[in-house]
Chain A
Amino acid sequence: MELPTPDQRILGDKARIVKRLRQVVPPDSVIDDGHETLAYECDALTAYRCPPLAVTLPSTTEEVSQILKLCHREGIPVIPRGAGTSLSGGALPTSDSVVVCVSRLNGIIDIDYDSRLVRVQAGRTNLSVTAAVEEDGFFYAPDPSSQLACTIAGNVAMNSGGAHCLKYGVTTNNLLGVRMVLMDGEIVDIGGEFLDSPGLDLLGVVCGSEGQLGIVTEAVLRILPKPEGARPTLIGFSTSEGAASCVADIIGTGVLPVAIEFMDQTCIRACEAFSGAGYPDVEALLIVEVEGSPEEIEYQQGLITQVAWRHNPVEVRQSASAEESQKIWAGRKAAFGAMGQVGDYICLDGTIPVSRLPAALGGIAELSDRYGLQVANVFHAGDGNLHPLILFNANDPAELHKCEELGAEILKLCVREGGCLSGEHGVGVEKRELMTVQFSPADLEMQMRVKDVFDRSWLLNPAKVFPLELSMARRSQ
């Protein structure tokens, strides 16, 4: 993975820049010590690291504005950062950049149950939005697996999803407005506490723009009444194809589960060893969760079980209690930790049409053989969002390279099957160079022209999303 050549002028001018930053925000909100900036050298895509020039920790929208104004004037690249949980390198710095970390902006500004919405500062963590309203019977729906740590600002930047988005949608479907600081320091409100803002839907474009259009400091989020209850059903299959065709059939019946999760044998065995969830030793399993009152759950579970039996399951296990539910989910929720016990891995994030699941899984197995690297599959099957985990030895540079190549091949396969490169992790630096597989140069040019409007000098998270060569002219102007 390549990073743009750092600007020597900025590197040589560090002392003065840091001094200027300390003039616009409280001095202790600026970190420039080489040891301390190491904490910001990477996000959750730890294979790539680079400490920034300095890190700022603003506490108000106004401070964010002042920092950006300064960086804009000085021509310094800015890397927005929430909690640094991006799996695609969205918050990876360059050595000549200033990181703007919004984690201190973590307050609740307003809760309006009458309109079922909250206005929060965007550095607030995802789970703590729910925590603020759950006693009153509400929750915030998008639930990325990093939800304990990840911030709303990061969720908006990446349009984060989660296990339950089959029913509740992703961030963009639960976001009504933002307050955002543009690269030149201007503060703008897009959308708000109401539906259907007039004019072009800029909010829709900001959400998922990977921090390239502005730094979001406040967000208006939809909250929902908590369902009365939820229960999973576990279904084991002797073939991956059986599990895959069952998924499309469940959706075909008209039940809309909140989640349909898929795990293959490699993953099942790792999770079982790690968590003792009591999973059957099968080729593939599905966890299908439905919501409602006890009688509603029972009815939907009945329908799902009926469908499942048509696909020769090895085992069908309906949870009938909170304890059983917890056990069924325990393994799945531990999946990424469990796989970490098996070895180093990188986690991919392509999406395919659900109907192409069997073909995609077959294709992945074939590629895994060809590259001689093991691939485990655990993913949100209901919406076709695959998370193949490629196991490799991180201490072997040659194997890392092979692993990257295999990852690229799997994502290309997803696009060939009618899907896309990223379902919920974002492009970041990780999939940047693959964008031409999915989009024509003209399509990408149009997207870059949208960035031009918001950030004419391409200082905001500049070396992300677009292939370096395509964005070079804009970045080096």
Chain B
Amino acid sequence: MRPENEHELAAFIASANNPIRIQGGGTRPLGNPCTGEFLSTTGLTGIREYEPGALTLVVGAGTPLDEVNTVLREHGQFLPFEPMDCRKLLGTKGVSTVGGLVSANSSGPRRVLCGGCRDYVIGIRFVSGEGEFLTAGGRVMKNVTGYDISKLFVGGLGTVGILTEICFKVLPIPHDTAVLLINGLSDDQAIRAMIHALNSPFGVSGAAHLPRGMDGHPVTMIRLEGFEVSIDYRTRELTRRLAKFGDVVVERDPVRTQAGWQFVRDVELFEAAKGGDVWRVSTRSRDAAALVDMVRRSYEIDVVYDCGGAVLWIRTRESIDLRALIGPLPGHATLIRTSDANKRRYGVFHPQDAILARLSEAVRQEFDPRNLLNRGIMDCRHQVN
């Protein structure tokens, strides 16, 4: 089924009796495996409204991300949360849609400065699990009128309704970029260096550490973005402040800086062809290195530290329950890439507090009482405190 407009979609859902599996571009097969009749959103496309002066863009949910990026770029603007391209990591093909990336709350390295996808979705139109056509939020960036229902859809993996239209807040593309590189740091030192940079007043827009970088050696990357005069000044200042951690190399070539951050954003180091399971762990920066160290004592793993260590991408050999190994932590671990059998065995999502799980399930049911949409994709085990 591939509806061409919202009314066709609403009618289809209203008369549906069996589970439905929603698909945008099919590049992000995240969550628990689920079955059902395929429903493609790729017919719901088009830029509906774009106001560069108001920093807002309204777009059909099935619109390819590339198309949106192209339109924004013409006006020197972009989606600042740097959505990840999952195709290399997950070995998928196809064209990423905005509805898909919003449903996955896909956010990249820049979130340390700008926030994630959730912070840029300001309004939506959607069809509920009952086939009702509804609206939430609005088309202006400052809006507290009624509940912020849109947030449920960001990262909701299609379980609360089918997005048909999304209004984004957008921002101007920074004129210039510099990346400060420090080679050879231990994970622990790297995290200290990243925190030092992030706690400076220079608006660091990326802080990542690769224990095995493109050339196999440890590299720590700090990104600065802004006007040229700003970048000159901030590079100078930050280089001085980071000198105590090691020699700082500055990269300002636009092609190379972009490639470097794309490598981090898309976790290219763990591309599907090279195998292994991949987990994403969110925790406190200061706990990150110890956590990795503990896992390393049992298994050989590869790690990419993003967001100053608040986000860890960990590749293990197949069939290891990383979550059980690290035990309770402030934060959570999500199984991003593995076999369906392992997803079932370990659970994709971190066990949720029992009250929270009950509330979430009850909210989901209000939007999709027949439990037709992406059934089970977000299920997780409960944990009683």
A199 touching B147 by the CB < 8 A rule?
no
Complex Cα–Cα for A465 and B149 (A): 14
Provide 21 A-B residue pairs closer than 8 Å at the C-beta atoms, listed in order of the A residue.
Answer: A114-B284, A189-B356, A192-B330, A195-B116, A199-B360, A204-B151, A248-B53, A252-B52, A252-B53, A252-B75, A256-B171, A296-B233, A383-B142, A385-B142, A420-B138, A423-B144, A425-B144, A426-B144, A439-B146, A447-B136, A453-B366
Given A248-B54, A450-B149, A453-B366, A173 contacting B144 (CB threshold 8 A): no
Say if the beta carbon of A374 comes within 8 Å of chain B: no
B148 touching A115 by the CB < 8 A rule?
no
Complex Cα–Cα for A252 and B152 (A): 31
Say if the beta carbon of B59 comes within 8 Å of chain A: no
Report how many residues on chain A are interfacial, defined by Cβ distance under 8 Å. 92
Q: Which of A73-81, A331-339, A349-357 contacts B (4 or more CB under 8 A)?
A: A349-357
Q: Which of A158-198 contact B (CB under 8 A)?
A: 158-159, 161, 165, 169-170, 172-173, 182, 186, 188-190, 192-198
A422 touching B143 by the CB < 8 A rule?
yes
Say if the beta carbon of A293 comes within 8 Å of chain B: yes
Complex Cα–Cα for A287 and B99 (A): 38
Given A115-B284, A202-B360, A254-B172, A351 contacting B380 (CB threshold 8 A): no
Q: Which of A379-422 contact B (CB under 8 A)?
A: 380, 383-385, 418-422
Q: Which of B321-350 contact A (CB under 8 A)?
A: 330-332, 334, 349-350
Counting chain B residues whose Cβ lies within 8 A of the other chain, the interface size class is: 35 or more
Say if the beta carbon of B156 comes within 8 Å of chain A: yes
Say if the beta carbon of A32 comes within 8 Å of chain B: no
B: residues with CB less than 8 A from A are 51-56, 75-76, 105, 107, 111, 115-116, 118-119, 128, 132-136, 138-152, 154-156, 159-160, 171-175, 195, 198-201, 226-227, 229-230, 233, 237, 282-286, 307, 310-311, 330-332, 334, 349-350, 352-353, 355-357, 359-360, 362-364, 366-367, 378, 380
Complex partner residue of A195 from B146, B282, B356, CB under 8 angstroms: B282
B285 touching A355 by the CB < 8 A rule?
no
Q: Mark A448-476, 1 if CB is under 8 A from B, else 0.
A: 01111110000000000100000000000
B264 CB, nearest partner CB in chain A, Å: 15
B37 CB, nearest partner CB in chain A, Å: 24
**Smallest Cβ-Cβ distance to A192: which chain B residue:** B330
Say if the beta carbon of A1 comes within 8 Å of chain B: no
A-B contact count (CB 8 A): 254
**Smallest Cβ-Cβ distance to B355: which chain A residue:** A188
B154 touching A422 by the CB < 8 A rule?
no
Given A188-B353, A200-B156, A446-B367, A421 contacting B284 (CB threshold 8 A): no
Complex Cα–Cα for A444 and B146 (A): 8
Given A204-B154, A296-B227, A427 contacting B310 (CB threshold 8 A): no
